[in-house]
Structures are given as C-alpha cells and as structure tokens.
Structure 1
Amino acid sequence: MQVEDVQSLAREIAARMAPDALLDAEDVAAILKCTAKYVTSQYAITPGFPGAIRLTGPGDRRSKPRWKRSDIMAWIDSHQGGRSKRGGRPRNAD
C-alpha cells in the first residue's frame, strides 16, 4: 500500500467518525450489522428512526439518503433497553 492510499483511507475513516458526518445506507448497515437494503426498506420507515437527508446534486438530481452519525447513534442509544423481560404485549394498568 502506498503512503497516499493510507492517508486517503485515514481521512475517510476520520470523516465517518465525526459526530456530524453524513452516513450512507452502507455505513449505517455496518453500524447496525445488517444489509444496506434492510436499512432502507425496514429501518428507514420505522417510526422514530432518524429522517434521511437528501442533497441536491448537479442537474437537480437528488442524492441517495444520508443520515447524521449523531442521530443514528442517539437512535441506537434509545433502543438499548431492548425487549421487556417478560415479553408479550403490555398489560393494562387497571
């Protein structure tokens, strides 16, 4: 590997680790340990999942969806409790 390749890779890694970095579906999938298709078809439509950012490029073409790293990490933190210990549907508090 050339020095330029290593430096380029280091810049790319640093950019993706910044809290305000914009992550694509592949980056989010790597964090969530799933596929990019699952991110866009399942997680992205889940209520409470961070909204995607779509930038306008040349010729008014919209980019693929991107998410702020800090929003994704906050969403993950909010779901760390996981399922309740008992499972099943919640009971009425009557």
Structure 2
Amino acid sequence: MQTMTTVATEFNYSELARQIAARMSPEALLSAEDVGAMLGYPARYIRETIALAPGFPVAIRLRLNDDGKRSNPRWRRTDVEEWVTTHLAQRRARSGRPRNQTVM
C-alpha cells in the first residue's frame, strides 16, 4: 500500500483573506476573471460576449501611464450584481410557449 506524502508549501492566508475581502466590497472593481467566477463563465467569454451584451454595465478603464495606455476592463461589483438581478427578473417575466394542459 502506498503512503501519501504531503509537501509543505508556504501560503499566505492573510494575503488571501485581504484579496477576498477587497473583492467582496460593494464598490470593488472586478476583473473579467472575477466576473467570470461570479457568473460561471471563462474570462474570455465575459470580455468577448457578456460585456458587449445590451444592458451589461459599461467597463471602467483606468489610464495606466502618460502614453495613454489603458488598463484591462473592470466593473463595479454592485453594477454587475444589479445586472444579474435585472437579467434574471427579465428571464422569469418572459413567457414561454404555451404548454398543453391535461384535463382530468
């Protein structure tokens, strides 16, 4: 029988906790990776499809330096959460095709 060995690795739990707390703030600016994790999609799908959908919050792009290069898109957590709530409400409100009712 094989025995399992564990390799001790250094892990900074304080830094992880800080990063999680920062992303949970209502005014946090989320990356495409963060939004993807919230919605269950890859970051590329967020950037190329979801972010271009009508009604999705406009991305915030900050200037990085004097040459005008801009950062990757970011979205406010509250804006994304609002969009999700609205999007779900619209989906529920849509009527589907009528179903046959069985009368007994």
Q: Deviations over 1:10-48 (max 9, x none)?
A: 000000000000000000000010111111111111110
1:38-53 equivalent positions in 2, closer than 5 A:
38-53=45-60
Higher relative contact order (CA 8 A, sep 6+): 1
Aligned-partner Cα distance in 2 for 1:14–1:71: 18
Secondary structure of the residue aligned to 1:31 is: helix
Secondary structure of the residue aligned to 1:57 is: coil
Map of 2:32 onto structure 1: 25
Aligned-partner Cα distance in 2 for 1:80–1:47: 14
Task: Work out the number of aligned pairs and report it.
Answer: 87
Map of 1:70 onto structure 2: 78
Aligned-partner Cα distance in 2 for 1:10–1:23: 16
Alignment RMSD: 1.9
Aligned-partner Cα distance in 2 for 1:19–1:2: 31
Secondary structure of the residue aligned to 1:58 is: coil
Map of 2:6 onto structure 1: none
| Structure with larger Rg | 2
TM-score w.r.t. the length of structure 2 is 0.76
Secondary structure of the residue aligned to 1:47 is: coil
Letter in 2 for 1:16: R
Unaligned runs of 5+ in 1: 88-94
TM-score w.r.t. the length of structure 1 is 0.83
Unaligned runs of 5+ in 2: 1-8, 98-104
Secondary structure of the residue aligned to 2:61 is: coil
**Runs ≥4 in structure 1, deviation > 3 angstroms?**
none
Aligned-partner Cα distance in 2 for 1:8–1:58: 27
